[in-house]
Amino acid sequence: MNRQIAGVRGVAALLPVDCAPWAAVEERLRALMEAYGFREIRLPIIERTELYARAVGEVTDIVEKEMYTFLDRNGDSLSLRPEGTAGCVRAGIEGGLFYNQTQRLWYQGAMFRHERPQKGRYRQFHQWGVEAYGMSGAAIEAELIALGARILRELGVKARLLVNSLGTPACRERYRDALVDYLKAHRDRLDEDSVRRLDRNPLRVLDSKNPAMIEILDAAPAIADHWSAESRTHFADLTAQLRTLGVAFEVAPRLVRGLDYYTHTVFEWVADETLAQATVAAGGRYDGLVTELGGAATAAVGFAIGMERLMGLVTRQPQTLGLDVYVMTPAALQGRALVLAEALRDQGVRVEVHLAAASAKSQGKRARDSGARCVVEAVDEEGVVILTAGATQGGTVSWAQAVARISEILGAKAKIDDE
Ligand code: ATP
Ligand code: MG
């Protein structure tokens, strides 16, 4: 046998056993997107590296050490997308989606970050992202948060919602000074990354995942003390609307998030704070980003769900439609069975035919495992036997009558299910 070739570390296939629950959750998420008036946008997986340098920020974990960056054959520096927001804004500007319009968009797909693989942290992972453009008030933030809360609630995911405000760029300037003073006073206790960030992008120090830094960061000044009247009003408006909507939240004074262009609201859902991989979904307002990327000033707010982390927390699986019919057949009748299966599919019935050489016994086991509502066995040129369909047992019908009889049984079953 040839030597096996290993997959890439931190990059996993989803096997069929994983795909079924993923697909069920994705189907539910699509329905919820529609329920809130969001439309899908499909974004490229590669972008120019400069997009992420500018949008996510030079001094971030993502850009400094996590991107898959390469030169293509023309010598252009490209990167696999590490997140979706930058590409969404880039595509929205080029596609003319923003000027004097509102947009509610969602996307989903694989993202790539060269991180140390561990539970809940992979090099290829999936995000479900939701972005809203052209709405500057707290109401759209409240609605997005209500959508996130509904997703988690419906799927039986327990997570705390943390919210904070980064204020306006002017608030951040003032806060930055206070934070730098504090951090400089404790310089000897900062790790190497934090010392570097202290000069280049001090707010990022608060993002540190290093447990040794937690104590010192917990005692750091809070941005709330530097909010302008506008920021204060915006935040009060948001929290009042969340209360009216019955969405539980906690104010987290030191929550700052990934992008450099967040303004006002930031939020995240945290499932279990003992884990570094606790954040299942996160987002915020990023009014500065569209202009930063060359578009007209556009209010923007969004969040992304980490799908692997979400799937690890789901306790209430949405139901999906399974197989309707499983057809067992000896090899000699496979051709006939295929004709029957096609005729059933013409009626909208979902069918699998057993096409491997196998004993009736092992076919029976496979049929039971398939979860099909109706099991059909091809007997001879004359007829087929309907083995089980709910309470219905046995009954030989001719090939010619089979479609009508099976449809009838499934229809009756469907009516019972509907009641
Ligand atoms: P973390 O703090 O866990 O590193 P982050 O702040 O880098 O997350 P975001 O850029 O806000 O994460 O991405 C949104 C969500 O995507 C995260 O809350 C998480 O659920 C998920 N996510 C981010 N990085 C990974 C990864 N490497 N593997 C799996 N999921 C991830
Ligand atoms: Mg990260």
Q: What is the CATH number of the domain that holds 84?
A: 3.30.930.10
In this predicted structure, the answer to whether residue 126 has a pLDDT above a threshold of 70 is: yes
| Residue 10: inside a domain | no
Which of 336 and 57 is assigned the larger pLDDT? Answer: 336
In this predicted structure, the answer to whether residue 273 has a pLDDT above a threshold of 70 is: no
Which of 135 and 207 is assigned the larger pLDDT? Answer: 135
The tally of domains found in the chain comes to: 2
DSSP states of 83-143 as a string? -SHHHHHHHHHHTT--TT--EEEEEEEEEE-----BTTB-SEEEEEEEEEES--SHHHHHH
Q: Do residues 260 and 57 make contact, with C-beta atoms less than 8 angstroms apart?
A: yes
| Residue 288: inside a domain | yes
Kindly state whether residues 131 and 271 are assigned to the same domain. Answer: yes
Q: What is the pLDDT of residue 71?
A: 98
Q: Specify the DSSP class assigned to residue 73.
A: T
Q: How confident is the model at residue 391 (pLDDT cuts 50, 70, 90)?
A: low
Mean residue pLDDT across the chain: 92
Of 273, 311, 289, 302, the residue nearest 148 (C-alpha):
302
Kindly state whether residues 130 and 24 are assigned to the same domain. Answer: yes
Kindly state whether residues 116 and 50 are assigned to the same domain. Answer: yes
| Residue 233: inside a domain | yes
Q: Report the length, in residues, of the chain.
A: 419
Q: How confident is the model at residue 234 (pLDDT cuts 50, 70, 90)?
A: very high
Kindly state whether residues 347 and 281 are assigned to the same domain. Answer: no
In angstroms and rounded to an integer, the radius of gyration of the C-alpha atoms of the chain is: 27
pLDDT tens sequence across 282-313? 999 999 999 999 999 999 999 999 999 999 99
Q: How much is the average pLDDT of 192-207?
A: 87
| Residue 218: inside a domain | no
Q: How much is the average pLDDT of 192-196?
A: 88
CA of 62 to the centre of ligand 2 (A): 7
Kindly state whether residues 92 and 29 are assigned to the same domain. Answer: yes
CB contact burial 153-162 (16+ within 10 A = b; e otherwise): ebbebebebb
Q: Considering the chain, what percentage of its residues have pLDDT values greater than 90? A: 77
Helix ranges (H only) for 189-333 are 192-200, 214-218, 229-245, 289-292, 307-313
Kindly state whether residues 63 and 143 are assigned to the same domain. Answer: yes
Q: How much is the average pLDDT of 383-405?
A: 85
pLDDT tens sequence across 312-346? 999 999 987 789 999 999 999 999 999 999 999 99
Which of 247 and 195 is assigned the larger pLDDT? Answer: 247
Q: How confident is the model at residue 50 (pLDDT cuts 50, 70, 90)?
A: very high
Instruction: Write the CB contacts of 139 (distance below 8 Å, at least 6 apart in sequence).
Output: 241
Kindly state whether residues 115 and 251 are assigned to the same domain. Answer: yes
| Residue 76: inside a domain | yes
Residue 103 φ then ψ, to 5°:
-140, 140
Q: Where a domain ends, among 270, 286, 311?
A: 311
Q: Do residues 193 and 64 make contact, with C-beta atoms less than 8 angstroms apart?
A: no
Q: What is the pLDDT of residue 414?
A: 59
Question: Does residue 324's CB lie within 6 angstroms of at least one atom of ligand 1?
Answer: no
Kindly state whether residues 329 and 305 are assigned to the same domain. Answer: no
Helix (H, G, I), strand (E, B) or coil at 377: strand
CA of 215 to the centre of ligand 2 (A): 20
Q: Do residues 271 and 169 make contact, with C-beta atoms less than 8 angstroms apart?
A: no
Give the ligand 1 atom nearest the CA of 258: 6
What is the helix, strand, coil percentage profile of the chain, to 5? 45, 20, 35
**Six-digit token string for 153:** 């609630």
| Residue 212: inside a domain | no
Kindly state whether residues 329 and 307 are assigned to the same domain. Answer: no
Supply the range of the domain harboring residue 378: 325-418
Kindly state whether residues 363 and 268 are assigned to the same domain. Answer: no
Q: Where a domain ends, among 257, 280, 311?
A: 311
| Residue 206: inside a domain | no
pTM: 0.89
CA of 30 to the centre of ligand 2 (A): 26
CA of 113 to the centre of ligand 1 (A): 9
In this predicted structure, the answer to whether residue 415 has a pLDDT above a threshold of 60 is: no
Which residues make beta-bridge pairs with 253? none
Of 213, 181, 174, 214, the residue nearest 198 (C-alpha):
181
- In testing the pocket of ligand 1, which one of 65, 131, 309 has its CB within 8 Å of the most ligand atoms? 309
Q: What is the CATH number for 389?
A: 3.40.50.800
Q: What is the pLDDT of residue 419?
A: 47
pLDDT tens sequence across 83-116? 999 999 999 999 999 988 999 999 999 999 999 9
Nearest-angstrom CA–CA distance, 179 and 166: 13
| Residue 320: inside a domain | no
Nearest-angstrom CA–CA distance, 110 and 397: 49
Q: How confident is the model at residue 411 (pLDDT cuts 50, 70, 90)?
A: confident
Q: How confident is the model at residue 274 (pLDDT cuts 50, 70, 90)?
A: low
CA of 173 to the centre of ligand 1 (A): 26
The single-letter code of the amino acid at 104 is R
Give the ligand 1 atom nearest the CA of 121: 28
**Six-digit token string for 238:** 């948001």
Q: Where a domain ends, among 288, 311, 334?
A: 311
Q: What is the pLDDT of residue 275?
A: 67
Kindly state whether residues 335 and 244 are assigned to the same domain. Answer: no
- In testing the pocket of ligand 1, which one of 279, 280, 305 has its CB within 8 Å of the most ligand atoms? 279
In this predicted structure, the answer to whether residue 416 has a pLDDT above a threshold of 60 is: no
Residue listed under structure tokens 């570097």: 196
Kindly state whether residues 154 and 66 are assigned to the same domain. Answer: yes
Distances (CA, A) of 354 to 290, 326, 337: 54, 8, 9
Of 43, 27, 38, 29, the residue nearest 80 (C-alpha):
43
Give the ligand 1 atom nearest the CA of 120: 29
